[in-house]
Chains A and B, each alone.
Chain A
């Protein structure tokens, strides 16, 4: 556990990630609704800067012809090959082991801290 100051909240508005360098690592900070997320800026697939991708919901289906869209799931998609990762767990959505590295975050007053 190593809680580290990452940014002031005003530096992390909703939308594209605010990218910071901490302990030699590039980390993307996201604000979605009233939640904050911290992700290592490295895609496990081809090494792309994954935090320059987009946060979306998740297209779901209970079966063929039964499609829906789950706005409550947050998915980070890589800017290069558009791979999908769950922003909360870091896990890929495509039944593979690859995952993005996520960090616990904490809001303290008007500051965002992450556990490196």
Chain B
């Protein structure tokens, strides 16, 4: 039994998708295509797994039937969460345009992907460029049973997660009991002025290695600025941002808080104590130390049994099979990471218990 927290449907072809886009953007996109910003790096060298192109044609992730066979049936997925493609919205400056694109992408998910397979769930795309418009989109779709989270970007925000700018969005998420699904975006370069905290990455290799640094900074911003005291029901899942950095960050936050508590006097717990109630990390791409024992030690340091949730990132190049998790974790931990933690966190239906004969 698997719950997969990160799968990607590809941007649909224009013909399939433009009908969901409002004017004047429908005419604009029909004429010029989607607005794009890029980091000037060659990310296509990563891109997609080369064996995921549907046999009937089209891009990897464009055919729900093939994805169901190639992923859900093969590994035993109960549910899988669509992350979509963030390129058309992350970091693009114009809020009205981005809000329209988000509505169209969401309506396409509702019309095409959710009905295609009962195992599919979706995340609500929102324009981070305007929190009021974002709230409107959350309110429009939050009650749809297929929507299990609100989409957020770790790497293309301009403004750190702990800033009050986001409070209207957080209030809406808390009110609807929807977690924020935080994913990287290939648009990181322009949207943040720099694609790593040190400056511009020259290659996708450099950029991709540095992704977790954004997640680290976002987590510090959230906890230290008191976000979870303001919104006690607010929850984040950090997707594709790595795992093994968490012990360092928790230890450092706690150590420094002890001397500098005056700068965060609203906190009511040690910084590390906010994790279990508010934060989950997804496993993919799981770090690959030379000794698997080292990974098990890291899992132990962060209470991986409670904090981690499986993701495959299908059909992307850094895909993890469920079997990528070390067998040595043991059956109970594996079950929690592969299924139970996400089932609880995303409020998905619990599996029916077998009826005794």
Contact = CB atoms under 8 A, between A and B. Distances in A.
Interface stretch (B10-18, B42-50, B77-85, B104-112): B42-50
Nearest to A45: B288
Nearest to A80: B49
Interface stretch (B134-142, B147-155, B245-253, B314-322): B314-322
B319 A81 contact: yes
Contacts of B321: 46-47
A54 B319 CA distance: 17
B46 A82 contact: yes
Interface residues of B, number: 11
Interface string A75-91: 00001111000000000
A52 interface: yes
A54 B49 CA distance: 11
A49 interface: yes
Contacts of A80: 49-51, 317, 319
B283 to A, nearest CB: 14
Contacts of A52: 50-51
Contacts of B317: 80-82
A28 interface: no
A79 B50 contact: yes
A57 B318 CA distance: 22
A79 B49 contact: yes
Interface string B49-90: 111000000000000000000000000000000000000000
Nearest to B51: A79
B51 A49 contact: yes
B50 A53 contact: yes
B261 interface: no
Contacts of A49: 51
A46 B51 contact: no
Contacts of A46: 320-321, 324
Contacts of B50: 52-54, 79-80, 82
Given A52-B50, A52-B51, A54-B50, A81 B318 contact: yes
Contacts of A47: 321
Interface string A40-71: 00000011110011100000000000000000
Interface residues of A, number: 11
Contacts of B324: 46
A18 B149 CA distance: 43
Contacts of A79: 49-51
A49 B49 CA distance: 11
A81 B176 CA distance: 38
Nearest to B47: A82
A94 to B, nearest CB: 12
A107 B318 CA distance: 37
A79 B46 CA distance: 10
Interface string B306-348: 0000000000011111001000000000000000000000000
Contacts of A82: 45-46, 50, 317
Most buried by A among B45, B50, B320, B321: B50
Most buried by B among A47, A48, A49, A80: A80
A48 B318 CA distance: 12
Nearest to B45: A82
A49 B50 CA distance: 11
Nearest to B317: A82
Nearest to B53: A79
Nearest to B288: A45
A95 B321 CA distance: 24
Nearest to A53: B50
Interface in B114-163: none
B281 to A, nearest CB: 20
13 contacts: A46-B324, A47-B321, A48-B51, A49-B51, A52-B50, A52-B51, A53-B50, A79-B49, A79-B51, A80-B49, A80-B317, A81-B318, A82-B50
Interface of B: 45-46, 49-51, 317-321, 324
Interface of A: 46-49, 52-54, 79-82
9 nearest A-B residue pairs (beta carbon): A79-B50, A79-B51, A52-B51, A80-B49, A82-B317, A79-B49, A80-B319, A81-B317, A53-B50
Given A53-B50, A81-B319, 11 more contacts: A46-B320, A47-B321, A48-B51, A52-B50, A52-B51, A79-B49, A80-B49, A80-B51, A80-B317, A82-B45, A82-B46
